Amino acid sequence: MQFMGDQLAQASQGTMRIDIYPSQQLGTERELLELLQIGSLGMTKVSSSVLEGFEPSFRVFGLPYLFRDDRHRFAVLEGDVGKKILLSAERFNLRGLAYYDAGSRSFYTKDRPIEAPEDLEGMKIRTQESPVAIRMVRAMGGAATPIAWGELYTALQQGIVDGAENNPPSFYLSRHYEIARYYSLDEHTSVPDVLLISTRVWSGLSPQQRAWVQEAANASAEYEKRLWKKAEEDALAAVQADGVTVIRPDKKPFADAVQGLYEEFRSEPVVYNLIQEVRAVAAPADSLAHAAQ
């Protein structure tokens, strides 16, 4: 966000600026979205999981093993399908500007490693307050337990949950690795963060100002992608150096266990149609393969 602010100030020759309030100083992610809706806040960044409660299109990102690989994921997010989802919440006064990479989420546990879906049987796993995430953990045999992120360290300590799931930097920076000594890189979901602007603020900008804001947002997303890759590498190295056992299981059994989730969305046409659109997107490597055939 600081990078975006610098880019915007430079492009606008100092006529526009972004004041940043980090670490939930202005409220939780949901509260920030509500402030955005009434125009009391100009911009915010939240997990797309939180947006599921506002606009159903964002539920598609919570589906496990939706993307074939990282190339496919970025082709979706940066292409027409991703842009359509970004703008889908405008009717709720929320306009998406860009996605920020938040990597892939994997399971971490206290007492035993997760090497196959059946290892989740009987385990209480913390999830985000996302209906899709809850259904995913249940499909794999675990007991999904939504708990606020700020309360999770204590919940792990006290045995309220047996484990959780998140990306490597979050696992490391939260210090959850001090308690959960097994990290299984099943990489079940890749839930992006979303940078949003209030439509009340957006409508008050001139066409030139809108262009500056969007260009700064796009530049910040590319910059964040590079930072994220390094953060993931550093986080994994740090937890392993501390003695955490990192498991790289076969992902196919996990993917097979959750296929029923996709059929459940037949009754939700918005999400089901998006699933088909996402699957139809060709990543750069896919395009080259098709051209060679």
According to the model, what pLDDT value does residue 290 have? 41
182 neighbors 245 (Cβ within 8 angstroms) = yes
- Block means of pLDDT (10 residues each) for the chain, 293 residues, are 94 95 88 93 93 92 94 96 96 96 97 96 92 91 92 96 97 98 97 96 96 97 96 98 98 94 91 96 64 39
165 neighbors 102 (Cβ within 8 angstroms) = no
Instruction: Tell me the two tokens of residue 25.
Output: 């100083």
- Residue found by looking up tokens 């598609």 in the block: 60
Q: Which amino acid is at 277?
A: E
- Residue found by looking up tokens 């975006």 in the block: 4
Domains defined along the chain, listed by start = 2-104+189-292 (3.40.190.170)
Specify the pairing of strand 182-189 against strand 245-247: parallel
Rounded to whole angstroms, the Cα distance separating 190 from 176 reads 20
Q: Is the pTM of this model over 0.85?
A: yes
According to the model, what pLDDT value does residue 148 have? 87
In a 13 Å sphere around the CA of 25, the CA atoms on its Cβ side amount to: 6
8 neighbors 205 (Cβ within 8 angstroms) = no
Sheet-wide strand order for 143-146: 143-146, 124-127, 163-166, 105-109, 182-189, 245-247
